[in-house]
Amino acid sequence: MFIFVKILSMKHVHFFASALIILSACGKPKMVTFEHEFTNVPLQISAPVPQGPNTFQIEIPLDLDDLFASHQADRKKINEVHITSLDFSMQNERNFNNFETFVINFFSDSQDMTKLASISPVPKGSTALSVQVTEKAELQKFFADPTLFVILDANITELDTVGYNLMMNMKVNFTAAEAKK
């Protein structure tokens, strides 16, 4: 009986050791978090700009492979994306006086349009707008695509015969699985 208990105990030890090795190998991957800033992304709106609802588009090629590699992160395994700041500035001594509302959306070839933020009413005399992005927006898949489109829906109060030049700045925090070496 003593031998039977000893053999049983060795089997348990071997079983638990095997289970521990398997569980440690299957653990969650290490995550890497870093920030990137998209700066001075241009949007040119040609004149005439009609009164009423208008839609404008900014195309942002996302060549982020080098960025992710420099942070030892796997771009194919993005876990979270948070936009920490999103700003638009008017150029050429213009302002947002002719804008009544301003809605910012993301769109990509593989993702449906997602609303990020809106401003209503747009403050008169403003030359810059800072928006708070909704936390509900699931953005991971947008940044996995090769191109991101920022869609701006604006309600223009009256016909404008002069075009607009805007610049967009966006700070983004990425969390992704650590790249395998």
Full residue range of the structural domain in which residue 98 is found = 30-178
Question: To the nearest whole percent, how much of the chain has pLDDT over 90?
Answer: 68
What pTM does this model have? Answer: 0.80
Residue 4, pLDDT score: 46
Instruction: Please report whether residue 14 resides in a domain.
Output: no
Statement: residue 50 has pLDDT above 60: yes
As for how many domains the chain has, the answer is 1
pLDDT digits (tens, 9 = 90+) for 53-104: 999 999 998 888 999 999 999 998 999 999 999 999 999 999 999 999 999 9
Burial of 174: CB neighbours in 10 Å, binned 0-12, 13-18, 19+: buried
Mean pLDDT of the chain: 87
Instruction: Please report whether residue 75 resides in a domain.
Output: yes
* Cα–Cα distance, 174 to 143 (Å, whole number): 9
Instruction: Please report whether residue 169 resides in a domain.
Output: yes
Going by pLDDT thresholds of 50, 70 and 90, the confidence category of residue 35 is very high
